[in-house]
Chain A
Amino acid sequence: MSQTNTATDAAPLPAIAVEGLSQRYGRTLALDNISLTVPTGSLFALIGPNGAGKSTLIDILCTIRAPLSGRALVAGLDVSRDPRGVRRRIGVIFQNSTLDTRLSVFDNLQFHARVHAMDRAERHERIDYMLDLVQLTEWRRSPVRALSAGMKRRLEIARGLLHDPEILFMDEPTVGLDPQSRANIWQYLAELRQRTGLTIVVTTHYIDEVGGADQVCVIDRGKILVHGTPAALKAAHGTTLLRLQPEGEDGRAAILSAHPDAIDTPDGTMLVRFASLPEAEGALAALRGRIGLATLEPPSLESVFLNLTGRALREEAPAPGRGKAQAGRGRK
């Protein structure tokens, strides 16, 4: 349905094409010569720790910030030459809420529709539809400050999609939400994409959320580390992870002497990497008595990140969502 802007059948225009993009803040290079393409209609996930350059990239693609060098085409339009054209075709959900909390739910949507030049009939039809989609119809007249965090997020999604964009950008859409709301939001997005053919670009540091993405791009310190489908990345870079809770300093020393490459995580556990499951099980047996709790994790995107950067992704996760993220992570 959204493929109306494809130029030729042979080579459909990618939703986003980025070439050699760089940006710096002071002395730090926030983006270092980034190149990537996002096919139309795909769910594209950018993962990386905070400060990796994800938000900077999103800001450039949304025309809020100009790139230092390089070129970015969004919906076929150059972000530097035709920023208004780009902004007409994109919907954006920022990391931090951008709702006017003093206005009602309806008024927030109404404002958005009007600055996007939607006429009256279209405005009302779309607002009704979007409110229904995110299940906020009964809250239509409530001031936004009365909504819960999850409802605010849903309202932002409704607003981001109100003007029927071709590409939806979401910067950390699930930060600060409880696990149930997070799961709901991903479900909405999956259904939406199926129904509308929307291209979705999402950044997150909750690595377990992007398993359903068509493509994952791992970014750290302004550079793309790898780029591919989740399955391909896991196969190429994933390892079995053994998460251990050491019993005191002795336990920690024992783990370190057996596995010098073990990594400490902020929650007190230690991570050890293994090429295969049996190897990990053997190591676990050898450490019996020295550890409290042990968790075996099959190759995941998290282990991909760990192998590529030598750091656990959650180390640098922002404080508000972290406790919840771990509480909701029941993996064995």
Chain B
Amino acid sequence: MTQDSPPIRRRPRPAPGGLRDMWDIACGVQTIWWREVKRSLTDRGQLIGGVSRPLLWVLILGVGLNPFFRGEVMGDVRFIVPYTYLQYIFPGVIVLNILYTSIQSAVSLIWDREFGFLREVLVSPLPRNFILLGKVLGGATTAVVHGLLVLAVARFANIQMGLADVGMAMALMFLLAFGMTSLGIVIANHVKGFEGFGVFSNALVLPLYFTSSSVFPLDPALTRAQTLVTYPRWLVALVEANPVTYAVDTMRGILIGFNQFPMALGWQITGAMAAGLFVFAMIEFRRL
């Protein structure tokens, strides 16, 4: 122990709701955010997944199915999508990476809960909702980075974008990631250990992805009646009910200019999902 007296002085306590208090909260949120980002971006396993997953989808599935992506039946062209399959699937793969990474990032909540760190955060002066906000922002940031990893190779899928498109794509990625990380938090709150979470998230991510019209289009040239003839009714219903469909569709609109639904619909649904799921997570987080 040192012999000289410690610098003890009572720290001033800012008035709640004041400007200083809000600044303190913002700094706290930033601290939690940065811990999440630093941790997941230095996690080699997550990073390898973030790179290998899209590579598989784009290289194997995208390149492999490319020649079959023309609606010819016995020489009759029934509909034409003016894009290669690689171009078509690319925005979907970005969304897939976002889905995986953001839901996975909620594992950090389980980690903090199991190893006690969560309590350290809960007894800090930060309000609970802002602790949650820091965590969700952290997960969303990581997911956007993983989305950008895919976007970085857009050139090889023959996708041309301007700077504005990249900005729009990032904004959409962020909204989607924000909602999905919140969803991950809700799930993490209900599972006991790490294993349970893995099963849960896979059982959620893959169906969401496959029914989001990301790997096959609902024919845009057909009327609704014709669509229902071409595809089984239940599949159309699933695709249309899946909110991720609209995020994928808008992403496709931004990147290759191809839409099956109105562009604005994707923004609205993804935004509503982000807000709604965050509120849901807030309610869940109170019960911790």
Contact = CB atoms under 8 A, between A and B. Distances in A.
Say which size band chain B's interface belongs to: 20 to 34
A5 to B, nearest CB: 8
B67 interface: no
Contact of B117 (A99, A163, A164): A99
A17 B1 CA distance: 33
Contacts of A125: 7
A102 interface: yes
Interface in A111-139: 111-112, 114-118, 122, 125-126, 129, 132-133, 135
Contacts of B35: 100, 103, 111
Given A84-B127, A98-B116, A114-B31, A195 B121 contact: no
A4 B11 CA distance: 11
A117 B8 contact: no
A292 interface: no
Contact of A84 (B2, B7, B16, B120): B16
Nearest to B127: A84
A118 B39 CA distance: 23
B115 interface: yes
Nearest to A94: B119
A98 B120 contact: yes
Contacts of B24: 117
B124 A116 contact: yes
B7 A87 contact: no
B6 A92 contact: no
Contact of A164 (B10, B16, B124, B127): B10
B116 A133 contact: no
B31 A111 contact: yes
Interface string B1-39: 110011111110110100000001001100110010001
A276 interface: no
B123 A133 contact: no
A115 B126 contact: yes
A289 to B, nearest CB: 52
Given A85-B13, A97-B116, A133-B1, A115 B121 contact: yes
A87 B13 contact: no
A103 B13 CA distance: 29
Contacts of B9: 164
Nearest to A97: B116
A121 B78 CA distance: 71
A114 B8 CA distance: 18
B32 A115 contact: yes
A307 interface: no
Nearest to A91: B123
Given A87-B124, A99-B116, 11 more contacts: A2-B10, A4-B10, A64-B119, A87-B125, A98-B115, A98-B116, A99-B117, A115-B28, A117-B14, A118-B11, A188-B1
10 contacts: A89-B13, A94-B116, A98-B115, A98-B117, A115-B32, A117-B27, A132-B1, A164-B10, A164-B11, A195-B5
Interface of A: 1-2, 4, 62-64, 84-85, 87-90, 92, 94, 96-103, 111-112, 114-118, 122, 125-126, 129, 132-133, 135, 159, 163-164, 188, 191, 195-196
